[in-house]
Copies of this chain bind each other. A is one copy, B any other.
Amino acid sequence: MRLYHHPASSNARRVVMTAKLLNVPLELVEIDLADEGERRRLGELNPNAMVPVLQDGDFMLWESCAIMQYLADLSPGQTLYPHEARARADVNRWMFWACQHFSPAIGVMTWENIWKSQVGAGDTDLAELARGEREVLRFGQVLDRHLAGRDYRHRVDHGCADGIRPTESEKRSPESAFIVAV
């Protein structure tokens, strides 16, 4: 399977991390998001013109969380994405929460502070930045309260590019592996 990605995209990175945790080999193809031509070609792979995009034969899949779940569904015996209904619902809850609330808030910050200037989309919009900060604080408090008292640390042996192995705690509480990958 091939993954169109960019190393600076946290959405792409969480798919790469998931594939490593599941021992699913991926052929990584980097998209130069600063190049207009490559962004146009990306729009042919994903109508939202965003990374990551998974190519599995003739099946094209985008939306990072859907790709993560698909990779788990293709991995018999995997324990990262639970099979039991309530445990799975708990993982799904946090993935949807991240997509609906936390990730868009973080996205405002990274767009205004980092990406906007790199793709020549104008100056930082201070009102937008303030809105992003408010939302990060609002939903960050929800995450803080959830994580308080839980052991959610990741042991990264060789760095993100080389390999990530789940801790014993992550094996017991798999949603943490998804949350930290937000």
Contact = CB atoms under 8 A, between A and B. Distances in A.
Contacts of A63: 92-93, 96-97, 100
A171 to B, nearest CB: 22
Interface in A34-81: 47-48, 56, 59, 61-67, 69-70, 73-74
A103 interface: yes
A47 B85 contact: no
A100 B97 contact: no
Contact of A99 (B48, B61, B96, B131): B96
How large, as a class, is the contact surface on chain A?
35 or more
27 contacts: A47-B145, A48-B97, A48-B101, A48-B142, A61-B89, A61-B93, A62-B93, A62-B97, A63-B93, A63-B96, A65-B92, A66-B89, A66-B92, A66-B95, A69-B88, A69-B89, A69-B92, A70-B86, A70-B88, A73-B85, A73-B88, A74-B85, A95-B96, A100-B100, A100-B103, A100-B104, A128-B131
Nearest to A74: B85
Contacts of A158: none
A139 interface: yes
Given A48-B142, A63-B93, A85 B100 contact: no
A150 interface: no
Interface of A: 47-48, 56, 59, 61-67, 69-70, 73-74, 85-86, 88-90, 92-93, 95-97, 99-101, 103-104, 127-128, 131, 139, 142, 145-146
Q: How many copies does the complex hold?
A: 2
A144 to B, nearest CB: 10
Contacts of A67: 89
A141 to B, nearest CB: 8
